[in-house]
């Protein structure tokens, strides 16, 4: 049916209007609906609350504020939950196979509830790496008025520690540079309470990208998890989504090629996670927009990295929050002609209007540099190709690691075997650690390699060793690291053909990875390659059968849908 006020479709009318829907109304009365509620816009509150991770342990409270905001604005809010997986807890284990898979499960589950219950609009609240892009993928896929709320960043632990401090402490302990007691003290003090990991890791990267995309209210990405600002952000999101329903403003009115370019620009300026490449491409696929690896190269040539944030920098996200968040940075980028100011956001205004009253950063702050004096003059997200990755790979090169690495391969067919080799001291300066069969199909699930990269850093080899993988990296990884190598090993990609001792060159300036082995020898190796693969069951088998390449965002939807 059509809403007389907006001319837009009122999905909830199919559920609650008419004689034949009396059974539906009877069911809804049992969960608190009144006669008046059946005349209101129904607003779903998609909560990723759970107690499996500090990133999401407070989101039930934020969902309640969003609910109250929607009800106060004249809607009828209905809360529902979906799952989440903790990357930080599952990291380095077989459980990590489910991390990227959970992105698809969460997007599917939000679609299922919103579509099945006939909500007219919804608020999606996420706080950990994969549930955030999952929320946005569902928003774009459903194309109903909706807003994303970020759960907020965690505060630093003692001595400025965070989760990456613990991973790197493991490597330091293995190297004999830290005692058992010192490691335990780091473990006990690094995570002080609720909120997402505190550097410009994947959660804060994606929160910033989603705001730049136009799908969050201004400054939603730069608030502490436990704060009045975050509670107010949630309430205002509930209020605003009711207005979006009335205005019939939907995600596909907001997510465009221009807004995706804005999201990439902000991600680069902040020194964000390589996971943003995977997730923004996935969001573009859901929106039916032709956007891929080459767009990151195109945009990256003109956008500098200016944020001195962890993991490669010095500061935590909470420190950026304290000086104004990302709004002054976005205003700076807009004034320099690096953002599209004419795109529409969930405020119903243009981005330029949203940023018009943004204050400048305080004088003397050292977190965000001027565009004229950047940390790196172009993008730290470097898209590589070559005979190792003819379909592409993604490197995170801030410049501190250098721009070229030549070394000899040490090959591992799983993350576990590589990590144990690193901890035993078997990796030396000049080695290129090759971790394969960890791609979307081969893992399955494309595990993150924070445990190996953290151990490398902890052993003091961060500037002496490179690592390449068909898996991916946590936003907390840093060093000379290259992920998303495609085609992946499980599909017979060239990374499967590398042998111990092979010479490799990774050149961030020419954007190439070169395996110095002749085509003739590679053909001989390919002929004897065993591609029997792993025997997966359940969800892992379903995912391995459906997932597309990392180059296509590792989505499970048909690419022509």
Active centre residues (catalytic): 474
d(CA 388, CA 515): 6
Reduce the DSSP state of residue 172 to 3 states and report it: helix
Q: By the 8 A CB rule, do 30 and 97 touch?
A: no
CA torsion sign for 544, 550, 551, 556 is: positive
Label residues 153-176 b or e (16+ Cβ within 10 Å = b). Answer: bbbbbeeebbbbbbbbbbbbbbbe
Nearest to 338 by CA among 355, 322, 324: 355
DSSP structure string for 284-347:
HHHHT----HHHHHHHHTT--B-B-BTTTSSB-HHHHHHTTTTHHHHHHHHHTT-S-TT-B-TT
Cα distances (angstroms) measured from residue 283 to each of 501, 519, 554: 39, 37, 11
Q: Where are the alpha helices (DSSP H) in 149-292?
A: 163-174, 180-189, 202-213, 228-247, 251-254, 257-270, 275-287
- Under DSSP, the state recorded for 350 is B
Q: By the 8 A CB rule, do 43 and 77 touch?
A: yes
Contacts of 413 (CB under 8 A, 6+ apart): 436, 437, 489
Sole residue written with tokens 């990796």: 427
Q: By the 8 A CB rule, do 276 and 314 touch?
A: no
Strand partners, 81: 47
Burial class (CB in 10 A: 0-12, 13-18, 19+), 515: buried
Phi and psi at residue 337, to the nearest 5°: 80, 20
Which two structure tokens, joined as six digits, stand for 522?
A: 């590679």
Q: By the 8 A CB rule, do 96 and 60 touch?
A: no
Burial class (CB in 10 A: 0-12, 13-18, 19+), 108: middle
Ramachandran assignment for 476, one of left (phi > 0), alpha (psi -120 to 50 degrees), beta (any other): alpha
DSSP structure string for 408-428:
EEEEESSHHHHHHHHHTT---
Nearest to 374 by CA among 406, 404, 344, 338: 338
Cα distances (angstroms) measured from residue 14 to each of 313, 443, 468: 52, 42, 52
């Amino acid at each position: 049916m059509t809403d007389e006020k907006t001319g837009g479709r009122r999905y909830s009318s199919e559920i609650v209007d008419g004689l034949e829907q009396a059974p539906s109304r009877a069911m809804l009365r049992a969960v608190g609906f009144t006669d008046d509620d059946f005349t209101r816009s129904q607003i779903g509150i998609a909560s990723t609350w759970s107690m499996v991770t500090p990133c999401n342990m407070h989101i039930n409270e934020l969902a309640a504020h969003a609910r109250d905001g929607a009800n106060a604005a004249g809607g009828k809010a209905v809360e529902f939950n979906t799952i989440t997986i903790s990357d930080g807890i599952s990291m380095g284990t077989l459980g990590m196979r489910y991390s990227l898979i959970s992105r698809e499960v969460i997007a599917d589950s939000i679609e299922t509830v919103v579509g099945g219950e006939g909500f007219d609009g919804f608020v999606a609240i996420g706080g950990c790496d994969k549930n955030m892009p999952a929320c946005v993928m569902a928003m774009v896929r459903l194309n109903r008025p909706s807003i994303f709320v970020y759960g907020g960043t965690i505060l630093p632990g003692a001595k400025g520690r965070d989760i990456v401090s613990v991973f790197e402490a493991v490597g330091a302990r293995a190297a004999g540079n830290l005692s058992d007691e010192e490691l335990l003290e780091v473990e006990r003090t690094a995570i002080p309470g609720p909120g997402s990991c505190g550097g410009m890791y994947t959660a804060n990267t994606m929160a910033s990208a989603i705001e730049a995309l136009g799908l969050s209210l201004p400054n939603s990405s730069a608030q502490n998890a436990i704060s009045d600002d975050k509670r107010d952000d949630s309430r205002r999101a509930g209020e605003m989504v009711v207005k979006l329903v009335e205005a019939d403003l939907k995600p596909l009115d907001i997510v465009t090629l221009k807004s995706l370019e804005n999201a990439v620009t902000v991600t680069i300026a902040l020194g964000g996670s390589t996971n943003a490449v995977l997730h923004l491409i996935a969001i573009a696929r859901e929106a039916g927009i032709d956007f891929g690896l080459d767009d990151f190269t195109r945009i990256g040539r003109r956008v500098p990295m200016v944020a001195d944030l962890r993991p490669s920098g010095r500061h935590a996200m909470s420190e950026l929050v304290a000086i104004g968040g990302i709004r002054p940075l976005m205003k700076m980028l807009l004034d320099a002609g690096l953002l599209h100011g004419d795109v529409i956001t969930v405020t119903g205004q243009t981005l330029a209007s949203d940023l018009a009253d943004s204050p400048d950063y305080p004088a003397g702050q050292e977190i965000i540099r001027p565009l004229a004096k950047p940390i790196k003059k172009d993008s730290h997200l470097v898209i590589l190709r070559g005979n190792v990755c003819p379909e592409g790979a993604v490197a995170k090169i801030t410049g501190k690691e250098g721009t070229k690495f030549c070394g000899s391969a040490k090959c591992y067919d799983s993350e576990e075997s590589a990590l144990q080799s690193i901890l035993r001291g078997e990796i030396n300066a000049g080695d290129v650690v090759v971790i394969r069969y960890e791609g979307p199909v081969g893992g399955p699930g494309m595990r993150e390699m924070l445990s190996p990269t953290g151990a490398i850093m902890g052993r003091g080899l961060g500037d002496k060793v490179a690592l390449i993988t068909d898996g991916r990296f946590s936003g907390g990884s840093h060093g000379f690291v290259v992920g998303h190598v495609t085609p992946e090993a499980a599909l017979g990609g060239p990374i499967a053909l590398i042998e111990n001792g092979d010479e490799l060159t990774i050149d961030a300036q020419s954007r190439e990875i070169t395996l110095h082995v002749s085509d003739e020898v590679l053909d001989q190796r390919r002929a004897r390659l065993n591609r029997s693969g792993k025997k997966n069951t359940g969800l892992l088998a379903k995912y391995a059968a459906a997932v597309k390449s990392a180059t296509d965002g590792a989505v499970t939807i048909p690419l022509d849908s």
